[in-house]
Homo-oligomer: A and B are copies of this chain.
Amino acid sequence: MKLAVIYDSRTGNTRTAAEWIAEGMARVAGTEARTLSIDAVDAAFVGEAKGVVIGCPSYMASMTPEMRTFLMQGGRLGLAGKLGGAFATEQYTHGGGETVVQSLLTIELVFGMLCYSGGAALGKPVIHLGPVGVNANVEAHNGMEHYREYFLVYGERFAQKAAELFG
């Protein structure tokens, strides 16, 4: 089962988060997970993927213009019916990561995806809408590393659900 993590990254933090999600996905047997930058998306792989997680940094509590432009491809991405997830990075805890995740999920719903986060039903750590990492040391005492486990767990739960539905 193929799963894709599509991301827009500027400084590398969001790419790191994408890689952690893919690493978590790979814990589920039979999963082939790939991270794809919006600059170089493998359309064939995405087309075959049963689930796609999309993420980017928060700028002004919003998704990046590059991600917004990328998603304008709409139906041509062929995401309808796939399991959909979202994640973000931000520079402050109040920096808009959640509003970015919510806005990415909104577009995924318009694409006709099945949006899923795992939620509170799978116990701690509770993932609400999708994982968010604070990408600076301004707040977190050890930067992105502090959030690693959330991204791993999220990726694993997402892959389990995809396998259950489509495996």
Contact = CB atoms under 8 A, between A and B. Distances in A.
Interface stretch (A5-13, A19-27, A38-46, A112-120): A112-120
A112 B118 contact: yes
Contacts of A119: 80, 109-113
Interface string A36-75: 0000000000000000000000111111010011011011
Contact of A98 (B60, B96, B133): B96
Contacts of A138: 124-125
Interface of A: 58-63, 65, 68-69, 71-72, 74-75, 80-81, 83, 91-99, 101-103, 105-107, 109-122, 124-134, 138-141, 146-147, 150, 161, 165
